[in-house]
Structure 1
Amino acid sequence: MSTPYAEVIGDPIAQSKSPTIHNLWIGRLGLEAEYRACHVKGDGLAEYLARRREDLAWRGCNVTMPHKQAVIPLIDRLDPLAQRIGAVNTILREADGSLTGFNTDAGGFLEPLRAELAKTHYFRMARILGTGGAARAIVAALADQNMVLVLAGRDPAKARALLDELAPGGEHHAIDIAHFAAPGDFAFDDREGCFDLVVNASPLGMAGQPPLLFDMGHVPPGSIVYDIVTHPHDTPLLLSARAAGFATLDGLNMLIGQAAEAFEKFFGASPPRADGDEELRHLLLG
């Protein structure tokens, strides 16, 4: 029988770090398996999935941009979270050849926050920058953690619609992202017993993208600043936040966390992470 394998698909795909992540874990566990990258264009999605359905060695695939929504009509069922978010980043081939779509971005994003979220807080607020596909998963994930959300985008109406769709019923706020560019001199009240989070869920600040204009005066004392951008690893937002004394989380947290969920689905084993992903991070940053 052919070696079991999974892969990541997208257009483009050469930049994907998924093969590095999954193949390190496969090697550490000594699995007879492979993880590949496959360049699939939009007009080739249907043919790709039709071929893979018939391949008994294919365990499934991760889905990256721009296919996270386009694959939905081509698969047989959606996990409830993926259906709610409206995006699929993991497809699993079931034993009968049917395809199930999942979204592991939400869980991957939350993974480094679990310890803090397990605590009891008087109040929780997250300021989220961006209204694209990644923001959808993050809004859904944080709404489920009883957080008040402030969602900022270039189009506040789009941000409002996203909140109404994914986090209905909450007292959430939609604002113009330009609000955070202006100097902030708000006198924050006592934050003891509160949990504050600032998330860049946009591509702003990524290499080749426009900068993220953000003034640290908008960040409450004791906040965690989380940037999901992975290139560069230390974004200007994270550097500014650390210089101002805030705790930070980089984009590799979400990238590795979502991969860990997908790995278990593909290969039926927990990835080896006892070293706190130190070797993996070294490889990804090398």
Structure 2
Amino acid sequence: MSRISGRAILAGVVGQPIDHSLSPAIHNGWLDAAGVDGTYAAFGPKDADGFNALLNAGRAGLIAGVNVTAPFKEQAFAACDRVSEAARLVKSANILVFKDGQIHGDSSDGRGVINALSEQAPTLQIEGAKVVLLGAGGASRAAAGALVTAGARVSVLNRTKERAQALADDLGGLVTVADSEAETYDADLVINALSVPPTYDVRRLKPTAVVMDMTYKPLITPFLQSGRNHGLMVVDGLAMLIGQAVPSFEAFFAQTPPSIDIRSTILTLLGEAR
């Protein structure tokens, strides 16, 4: 176990509800393996005022940084004194680092997507790839920002085209809006960014296509299972979760996570077969 002293670095994840979060298990697993004098906790403020109190604790130097999830992401971005280009592009910050009384915001959700693809679909060439995002919410926005930065050609397929167009407009025309599912079947990569199983017909995709789901409960979602049944390469949401935790760990604890099999630890917690 890592040693906790009076000089311990405190970081964590903040949201409501937050009991379900796997982030403490991921980060504390890395901290233990590296012997870091620190801990990563879950914070569940009941409302916006509670979240502001946590931000004030950070400004006062009591907390090194936090990851932010629903429903506080919008409030977190607005509170930042400085934001990274990644956060500015998607207008969202899921990493807050407190330094010298200021809040520095960054977005790692998109990097989580890139890291997951690198791990589980290493043959996919992202630069120049045609990528289709199912959904136009915050998760899709973060993925779109990272993918266009990596050189992909990204389009969004959403039931409400106006919302998809708003996302495309916010990203400065770097993303297009798909008019129909049929026009996306030549995609190299299809990512489900919806919170519910999509009705997308993966059987129409080309044999070399990759399908990814941002959901990790269950690990192999119906969408991914359909892809597997069709012989496609699949990328699961747990790979993205761990992938986005890497830059957070580096930001909070000033070092790269140790090379341990943290995925197996999380799979055990989820009750999933390895």
Q: Same fold (TM over 0.5)?
A: yes
In structure 1, how many angstroms separate the alpha carbons of the residues matched to 2:49 and 2:110?
27
1:43-122 matches, within 5 Å, as 43-56=49-62, 58-94=63-99, 96-114=100-118, 115-116=122-123, 119=125
The code of the aligned residue for 1:42 comes to A
TM-score w.r.t. the length of structure 2 is 0.88
Match of 1:285 in 2: 270
1:198 to 181, 190, 197: 190
Which ranges of structure 2 fall in alignment gaps of 5 or more residues?
A: 1-5
In structure 2, how many angstroms separate the alpha carbons of the residues matched to 1:228 and 1:72?
22
The code of the aligned residue for 2:242 comes to I
The code of the aligned residue for 1:270 comes to T
Deviating beyond 4 angstroms after TM superposition, the runs of 4 or more aligned structure 1 residues are: 184-188
In structure 1, how many angstroms separate the alpha carbons of the residues matched to 2:110 and 2:233?
21
Structure-2 change in CA distance of 1:218 and 1:69 (3 Å): farther
Query: Deviation digits for residues 16-72 of structure 1, max 9, x if unmatched?
Result: 11100000000001111111001022232222211232134x211000111111112
1:15 to 20, 29, 33: 20
Contact 1:186 1:218 in 2 (8 A): no
Contact 1:185 1:217 in 2 (8 A): no
Which ranges of structure 1 fall in alignment gaps of 5 or more residues?
A: 189-194, 206-211
Report the alpha carbon displacement of residue 218 of structure 1 after superposing the two structures with TM: 3.4
Match of 1:129 in 2: 134
Structure-2 change in CA distance of 1:15 and 1:222 (3 Å): same
The code of the aligned residue for 1:54 comes to A
Match of 2:234 in 1: 248
Contact 1:186 1:217 in 2 (8 A): no
Structure-2 change in CA distance of 1:169 and 1:65 (3 Å): closer
TM-score w.r.t. the length of structure 1 is 0.84
Report the alpha carbon displacement of residue 106 of structure 1 after superposing the two structures with TM: 0.9
Query: Deviation digits for residues 120-142 of structure 1, max 9, x if unmatched?
Result: 97x52111101111000011111
Identity of aligned residues (%): 34
2:42 to 32, 37, 45: 37
